[in-house]
Chain A
């Protein structure tokens, strides 16, 4: 017993500075599930927030491995901002392993930014898994559609203001400043894609519907047989035939998907496989919200010309 007391004291002395260092942070600690929401939260919260994302831009946001390191991030969070619509449902497992009452489902620190989004691809009939890994609540990949940013940032500002109501005006001011910059960029993007309105593209995974819809482009087919189900050779043959018949020039590929396969199909069909940033940080240079859309619009415009 006499030996144990000094050991315990030494352990406390070691751990105490770490605990104090962590609790000394005075910013609002925000964790987002995907980097797009991190980028937007940083725009709204600016210096008042310290934001971390659970997923990285190069990862597939549907199937994130729930590591204890994610739980550690969530353990310290004041607010968790999630995409919703079942894209990041894995976050629930991480939250349950984080022992943080501030962000459990139903708590004020849990912010779902899909509230108010006009969701596309909502199944109109009964769905089951024969249709693949289908999202019963609709297509959840709305975050990189610049037209959705006003709604997303409004939800973020509301969530931050619930935690720190005294800063609501600052959050709104930051948000308006960001939306003004986004409006300028929007004019640029619209101009770049205006001549290509009506053009058809093939996607690897059906996650581009919002941005395509925004700029008047059409998704003609997907390389995945059904969402999340790897393509069969027969399906790829059909897609190649369709691309040739309809003279489709572009296959959009996510950074985490099989670029080799997409390139092979594109070569067969006389088209190009283009890697777009499926999330902020997905490709080199796409390290902010506007930069990611800049990359995507420029890459699309260049490939479709």
Chain B
């Protein structure tokens, strides 16, 4: 019996904690299940709350809605008042810059005959039969404050054969965005909005080279001036943009007086028509009037037209046609050798009214490939003669940020063209060139208008 009691006591001693442990485990399991349910319920509630917007601001019942205030143009007080919400770069996290940075690299190669190289008569004069960085550009752009934005572009490129790479300021300007009556003003160093292609940097052009007429009339860099441009877009049912600008007139090829006492004044009018959703036509006319370094008047008129056919749903245009014409009216001093001894005896002031134009068409049947053709014809603003060229090319884009172009350009210059002959004992009357271009973009690059 004693033994039985002992065994019973022993069993109770051993099993009691086990039973208690089992009870604890069951309780714990129940507790965990309960907590899991609670967690699930809270998670679901949280998800529901997160998918709902914050409650709207309550409106006092019975409050009569005040009559809508008439919408007036922006007053000076409005301009001075801080904007709300001040959403400038609200998406950006800490440590990020308050402006965008982009780098564009544009490399060009051209191959031509030895006589053209010797005469320096190729498209990239002095850089024939070379592969060179034409334009490596650092762009900084963004909002200055709620009222203005700014752009700074610093460029480098090879300008002479195997020479040092020069770095220069290509653009630095600010745009006042909140002026009244549909106006805006841009001031600083700008690429002038004269015609279509002048405002584009070389890497953004739809061709490998800038059209001949623009290179001949404005120089290799185009019209790039310091001053002020103002635009107005009246509130009309049709798009109409008017532009007026006042600049120093530093461009030595077309003007060169370089003073605000006799400023370069520019103007442009542009309109745009849509023929259905697939066709668009941009038409414009520009004028630039100033004085040359010799204080002689110089006026250049420009006309532009651009057509695009973009089938509905296409990611790129199928057909693009671009054309521009320039008409230069200027007075020049011409050397007169009255006795034929080869020495200038006097200067004769003459009027020179000369033309230049180009027309280009591009077809892009696939997203990555396009092919095109450009025809150029141009006189020289001061000298007799003319030249024309034809340039077929193909473009290939591995992506939006990388592009390769290959082209052939044939240029013929008339026999009166002084610059074509006997340059370094060589002739560049007829020029055949193979052109290659590689362009990349790093970082930010804003979309380009039509």
Using CB atoms and an 8 Å cutoff, list the residues of chain A in contact with chain B: 15, 18-19, 21-23, 56, 58-60, 63-69, 71-72, 75-76, 78, 84-85, 89-90, 92-94, 96-102, 104-108, 110, 112, 114-116, 118, 129, 132-133, 137, 147-148, 150-151, 153-155, 157, 164, 166-170, 172, 175, 228-230, 255-256
**Contacts between the two chains (Cβ within 8 Å), count:** 167
Q: Are A93 and B446 in contact (CB under 8 A)?
A: yes
List the B side residues contacting A76 at CB < 8 Å. Answer: 235
| Contact flag A60-B315 (CB < 8 Å), given A72-B239, A106-B146, A137-B91 | yes
Q: Are A107 and B146 in contact (CB under 8 A)?
A: yes
For residue B74, CB closer than 8 A to chain A, the reply is yes
Distance in angstroms between the alpha carbons of A155 and B85 in the assembled complex: 12
Q: Are B177 and A67 in contact (CB under 8 A)?
A: no
Q: Which residues of B393-450 have CB atoms within 8 Å of chain A's CB atoms?
A: 399-401, 442, 446-450
B187 CB to nearest chain A CB (Å): 15
| Contact flag A150-B239 (CB < 8 Å), given A93-B448, A106-B86, A137-B91 | no
List the A side residues contacting B238 at CB < 8 Å. Answer: 72
Distance in angstroms between the alpha carbons of A19 and B271 in the assembled complex: 16
Q: Are B53 and A169 in contact (CB under 8 A)?
A: no
Least CB separation from B399: chain A residue: A229
List the B side residues contacting A132 at CB < 8 Å. Answer: 399
For residue B231, CB closer than 8 A to chain A, the reply is yes
CB pairs A–B below 8 angstroms (6 shown): A65-B450, A68-B272, A75-B235, A94-B449, A98-B233, A155-B53
Q: Type the 1/0 row for B288-312, where 1 means its CB is closer than 8 Å to any CB of A.
A: 0000000000000000000010101
Distance in angstroms between the alpha carbons of A3 and B310 in the assembled complex: 43
Q: Type the 1/0 row for B28-67, where 1 means its CB is closer than 8 Å to any CB of A.
A: 0000000000000000000000111110110100000111
Distance in angstroms between the alpha carbons of A76 and B182 in the assembled complex: 9
For residue B95, CB closer than 8 A to chain A, the reply is no
Q: Are A71 and B235 in contact (CB under 8 A)?
A: no
Q: Which residues of B71-102 have CB atoms within 8 Å of chain A's CB atoms?
A: 71, 74, 79, 83-88, 90-91
Which of the residues B67, B178, B310 comes within 8 Å of A107, measured between beta carbons? Answer: B178
For residue B143, CB closer than 8 A to chain A, the reply is yes
Least CB separation from B402: chain A residue: A129
List the B side residues contacting A75 at CB < 8 Å. Answer: 182, 233, 235
Distance in angstroms between the alpha carbons of A68 and B231 in the assembled complex: 14
A31 CB to nearest chain B CB (Å): 14
Q: Which of A71, A101, A148, A228 has the most CB of B within 10 A?
A: A101
Least CB separation from A157: chain B residue: B56
Which of the residues A56, A93, A116, A166 comes within 8 Å of B53, measured between beta carbons? Answer: A116
Distance in angstroms between the alpha carbons of A289 and B320 in the assembled complex: 35
Q: Are B68 and A99 in contact (CB under 8 A)?
A: no
Q: Are A99 and B184 in contact (CB under 8 A)?
A: yes
Interface of B is mostly: loop
Q: Are A18 and B237 in contact (CB under 8 A)?
A: yes
For residue B269, CB closer than 8 A to chain A, the reply is no
B307 CB to nearest chain A CB (Å): 12
A63 CB to nearest chain B CB (Å): 6
Count of B interface residues, CB-CB < 8 Å: 70
Q: Are B65 and A167 in contact (CB under 8 A)?
A: yes
Which of the residues B67, B236, B239 comes within 8 Å of A18, measured between beta carbons? Answer: B236
B261 CB to nearest chain A CB (Å): 27
Q: Which of B271, B282, B315, B368 has the most CB of A within 10 A?
A: B315
Q: Which residues of B174-203 have CB atoms within 8 Å of chain A's CB atoms?
A: 175, 177-180, 182-184
Nearest 4 interchain pairs by C-beta: A154-B53, A68-B272, A106-B146, A101-B178
Q: Are B68 and A93 in contact (CB under 8 A)?
A: no
For residue B277, CB closer than 8 A to chain A, the reply is yes
Distance in angstroms between the alpha carbons of A208 and B231 in the assembled complex: 41
B279 CB to nearest chain A CB (Å): 11
List the B side residues contacting A85 at CB < 8 Å. Answer: 91
Q: Are A129 and B177 in contact (CB under 8 A)?
A: no
List the A side residues contacting B280 at CB < 8 Å. Answer: 67, 69
Q: Are B56 and A154 in contact (CB under 8 A)?
A: yes
A180 CB to nearest chain B CB (Å): 14
Least CB separation from A258: chain B residue: B367
List the B side residues contacting A65 at CB < 8 Å. Answer: 308, 310, 317, 450
Q: Which of A21, A65, A153, A157 has the most CB of B within 10 A?
A: A65
Q: Are A106 and B446 in contact (CB under 8 A)?
A: no
Least CB separation from B236: chain A residue: A18
For residue B241, CB closer than 8 A to chain A, the reply is yes
List the B side residues contacting A106 at CB < 8 Å. Answer: 83, 86-88, 143, 145-146
Distance in angstroms between the alpha carbons of A59 and B315 in the assembled complex: 8
A75 CB to nearest chain B CB (Å): 5
B372 CB to nearest chain A CB (Å): 18
Distance in angstroms between the alpha carbons of A258 and B288 in the assembled complex: 46
Distance in angstroms between the alpha carbons of A96 and B280 in the assembled complex: 20
For residue B149, CB closer than 8 A to chain A, the reply is yes
Q: Are A68 and B87 in contact (CB under 8 A)?
A: no
Least CB separation from B56: chain A residue: A172
Q: Are A96 and B237 in contact (CB under 8 A)?
A: no
Q: Are A104 and B178 in contact (CB under 8 A)?
A: yes
| Contact flag A67-B274 (CB < 8 Å), given A58-B313, A60-B315 | yes
List the B side residues contacting A93 at CB < 8 Å. Answer: 446-449
Q: Are B149 and A96 in contact (CB under 8 A)?
A: yes
| Contact flag A59-B68 (CB < 8 Å), given A18-B237, A93-B448, A154-B54 | no
| Contact flag A104-B146 (CB < 8 Å), given A19-B235, A78-B71, A167-B65 | yes
Q: Are B86 and A230 in contact (CB under 8 A)?
A: no
Least CB separation from B312: chain A residue: A58
Q: Are B74 and A102 in contact (CB under 8 A)?
A: yes
Q: Are B313 and A59 in contact (CB under 8 A)?
A: yes
List the B side residues contacting A15 at CB < 8 Å. Answer: 234, 236
